Copies of this chain bind each other. A is one copy, B any other.
């Protein structure tokens, strides 16, 4: 499309309407139906029927949007204004069935399809981690198998729970089985805590992931970890999936299965920024459970992650 570039519609200015005022779209951006084209869409998926411990991530998208009111436009670390470089808009929430996981997966996939097929990249706000699977199904239709960079305390490659194959503990096993993931290029970051057995780790490796344990952040310089990840993903299309519990509970109490010994928000944000050197095709931020949050600190971390992901997208082509 070589038509004359239309200046993207940015957020409402804090000089016109204070940041605590007005409707809550992400970062006070326009809604998707208010702009002619969406370069990157923020898509809420208020679904938490796949959780195994504390529920509540269904309220996650709204909570993150509320915290995103304070985002200002220019990213000095990456030297980019994501809201001017491309049209970012809020695509609202997927209306998905809270009682039937299978049906909800279909609803989410169809919603993702409608955006991705129109050339829109997505930053998905969960919801629990189950939602990564239908998004990856949709992604794979556009890009084939992608490198998944998965920030999480947990592997999320378990098999079944109470006989259910599709839960927040299984999306990456299912995705790998379904061929949605590049098994040479995927990585877990921030893994920690007890697991069921040593077999979990070997199974995980076969599904295409290498783990970078949280404890490595204590001993290894951050830039060396970043290099390792960038090397693994190379020039492949990358999907970044951020379970907010990758952060230590001190930084993200508002989540379903918190695990001590995690990353700081400073480490996480730096890791995210590094993908300006990769080809980021879409991303998600999941498992924000507002009832356990305090003073919005979890939501602020999540909205900052979303902002850095948008900035990364502004630095790189689709």
Contacts and interface: CB of A to CB of B under 8 A. Distances in A.
Interface stretch (A173-181, A228-236, A261-269): A261-269
A91 B283 CA distance: 34
Given A75-B194, A261-B266, A291-B56, A21 B44 contact: yes
Contact of A292 (B15, B71, B295): B295
| Copies of this chain, whole number | 6
Interface in A56-106: 56, 58-59, 61-62, 66, 70-77, 79, 81, 92-101
A171 to B, nearest CB: 14
Contacts of A189: none
Interface string A14-30: 11111111111100000
Contact of A297 (B14, B95, B249, B269): B249
Contact of A295 (B258, B267, B307): B258
Contact of A269 (B17, B44, B62, B260): B260
Contacts of A94: 21
Contact of A92 (B23, B52, B213): B23
Contacts of A276: none
A287 interface: no
Contacts of A194: 71-76, 307
A119 interface: no
Interface core residue of A17, A79, A266 (most chain B CB under 10 Å): A266
Contacts of A197: 73-74, 81
A193 B93 contact: no
A27 to B, nearest CB: 9
Contacts of A75: 194
Nearest to A83: B194
A73 B196 CA distance: 5
Interface of A: 14-25, 31, 44, 46, 48-56, 58-59, 61-62, 66, 70-77, 79, 81, 92-101, 161-164, 167, 192-198, 200-201, 213-215, 217-219, 221-223, 248-251, 253-254, 257-262, 264-267, 269-270, 291-297, 300-301, 304, 307
